[in-house]
Amino acid sequence: MQLSAAAAETPITSIKDNPDVYAEIYARVLVLSDNNIQLAIVTVDFGQFPLKYNQVLLDAIEQTTNIPTEHIIINCSHTHNAPGVDGRWISEESEVWLATCLAGLVKKAVDSLEPATLCVGRAPVQIGYNRRLMREDGHIIMAPNPEGAVVPWVDVLGVYDSSGGVIAVLFSHAAHPVIVHWSSEEIGADFPGYAVEHLRNFLDLKTSSVLLFAQGCAANINGYPLRGGFEACDVAGLSLAFATYQALRIAEVIPAAPLNTQSVMVKLPFQDPPSIAECEQLIAEYPDDNRYVALLEVAKSNEERFLPFPMRAFGIGKSFCILSVSHELFAEYQLFVDDTSPFSHTFMFGYTNGSEVYIATKKDYELGLKGGYEAGPRNHALGGPYRLALHPSVEVQIREEITDLLRELNNS
C-alpha cells in the first residue's frame, strides 16, 4: 500500500482587528490519503474557535473537498496575540472569509497529493511551566509551579516525497503561547511562529515545504516567561525548533497501512453552582463583577447542564495515531494517553474542533472556590451554561472515553 500526502499554507493576518502586526499568522493543512479515504489536519494561528463556528469551518471544507467532517480536525495554536481569546473576535465578514480560505486551502492540498513516506519521532523539550501554584491558605494562584505536570517533549511527524524532499513537518508541544502576550498587543503567532522560522533554517527547506505546529493539552502550562517579550519568545521558539530537528533525525518510518478514523461526542456534566446565598455574598464583595451576577442566575435556574465534548482520532495501521480533543485540557490527560495508548506512537492535540472551557482534573475541581482560574466556578460564570466548573467525575469519564476510542480505532 502507498500513502499519499500534500500540504499547503496561507497567511490569514487580514482577519486582524488590530492594524499592528509583529509577524504573519497562518493557516496550514496536511492531507493524507490511502486511495480510499482522505484525512485533513488543519492548524491555525488563532486563539480558539467556539464549537458552533468550528462546525461552520468543517462544513465549508466538506462542501469544497468532499472530505467528510469526521475526517477533518482543526487545531488552534491558542496564541494570545490573535483573535479568539480575551474577548477578541472577528467580524461576520471575516468569519465568512476564513471559512472560504480554509476550504480552499484544503482543496489545494487535495489537488496536489503525491506518494509519500511518513516518519515519526519524539525529543525532550520544555519551554513552559505548570501555572497552578497552591498558596499556604490552599488557594490556587497563577504562578510557575516547578513540581506541576508538564508534557516535556515534542512529537514530530515528517512527511517526505519520493525523492526524499520534505512535503511537511507536523510538530506538537503543550504550552500556552503567552510569551509575547500583553507585552505587545501586536498580532503574531508567539513561540510557534518563531519555531517554524527556526526549523525552516535548521532544515534548509525550500519554500514549498509546510511546517505545521499543533497545540497539545496546555490548559495548565504557560510558555515561559509569561509576557517575556519578543526576545524571550525567540529563544523559546529556537529551543522547540531544535528539539523538533533532533526528533526528525531519529524518526522511524511509519509502515504504510490503511488510514482509519473514529469519532465520539461526549456529554460532560457541570457541577452545581454555588448556592444562591454564596452567589449573593460574592456579589456583595465584588459589586462591579458581572460574572457573579451571571453565576447567581445559573444558581436560580436549577437546570442540569452538560458540555459537548467532541473527540476524534486518526490512525495509520496500529503504529501511529493522532488523538484530538476539544476545549482546554490539563496536561495530565496527555500524560495519561501517553501511558495507555495501544499505538506505538500517539500524538494528542487539544484546542481541536472547538474550544470554550477549561477541563481540569478531579482533585482540582474538588478544591471548589479555591480551585483557581481554570478549575473554580468564579472564573467560569460568564458566557451562559458553559461557564460553570465541570463535575469532578469528568476525569474518570474522559479517561474511559479515550480508552474506548483508541481501542476501537486500533481494532478497526
Q: CB atoms < 10 A from the CB of 247, how many?
A: 24
76-111 in b/e form (b: 16+ CB < 10 A) is: bbbbbbbbbbeeebbeeebbeebbebbbebbbbbbe
Distance CA 292, CA 298 (A): 10
Q: Compute the mean pLDDT over every residue in the chain, rounded to the nearest whole number.
A: 93
Q: What is the pTM of this model?
A: 0.94
CB 181 within 8 A of CB 81: yes
Alpha-carbon span 324 to 181, nearest angstrom: 25
pLDDT of residue 84: 94
C-alpha 170, offset from chain centre: 13
pLDDT of residue 185: 83
Residue range 44-86, pLDDT digits in tens: 999 999 999 999 999 999 999 999 999 999 999 999 999 999 8
Mean local confidence (pLDDT), 292-301? 80
Confidence label for 126 from pLDDT (cuts 50, 70 and 90): very high
**Which of 13-22, 39-48, 134-143, 179-188 is the least confident region?**
13-22
Cα distance between residue 47 and residue 85, in whole Å: 5
Average the pLDDT over 299-321 and give the result: 91
Core vs surface per residue 367-392: b (16+ CB within 10 A) or e: beebbbbbbbbbebbeeeebbbbbbb
At 381, the pLDDT band (50, 70, 90 cuts) reads very low
Distance of CA 371 to the CA centre of its chain: 23
Domain boundaries in the chain?
4-257+312-339, 271-301
Residue 379 scores a pLDDT above 70: no
Residues 6+ apart with CB under 8 A from 154: 122, 123, 125, 171, 172, 173, 240, 243, 244, 247
What count of other Cβ atoms lies within 10 Å of the Cβ of residue 149? 19
Question: How far is it between the farthest Cα atoms of the chain?
Answer: 69
CB 306 within 8 A of CB 268: yes
Number of H helices, E strands in the chain: 10, 19
d(CA 74, CA 50): 12
State pLDDT tens for residues 159-179.
999 999 999 999 999 999 999
Mean pLDDT throughout 283-303?
81
pLDDT exceeds cutoff 70 at 373: yes
For the four alpha carbons of 192, 194, 197 and 203, in that order, the dihedral sign comes to negative
Q: How far apart are CA 100 and CA 112, in angstroms?
A: 19
Q: Which of 212, 192, 49 minimizes the C-alpha distance to 127?
A: 192
| pLDDT value at 40 more than 70 | yes
Task: Give tens-digit pLDDT for 272-287.
Answer: 777 889 888 888 988 8
Mean pLDDT, rounded, for 305-313: 94
Q: Give the pLDDT score at 368.
A: 87
Residue 48 in 3-state DSSP? coil
Across 339-366, average pLDDT? 96
Q: Minimum mean pLDDT among 15-19, 169-173, 184-188: which range?
A: 15-19
Question: Which segment of 119-133, 171-185, 328-342 scores lowest on mean pLDDT?
Answer: 171-185
Residue 184, pLDDT score: 85
Share of the chain above pLDDT 90, in %: 81
pLDDT at 363 over 60: yes
pLDDT at 32 over 50: yes
Task: Say what the pLDDT of residue 380 is.
Answer: 46
- The cell numbers describing 31, all together, are 492531507
Query: Residue 382: pLDDT above 60?
Result: no
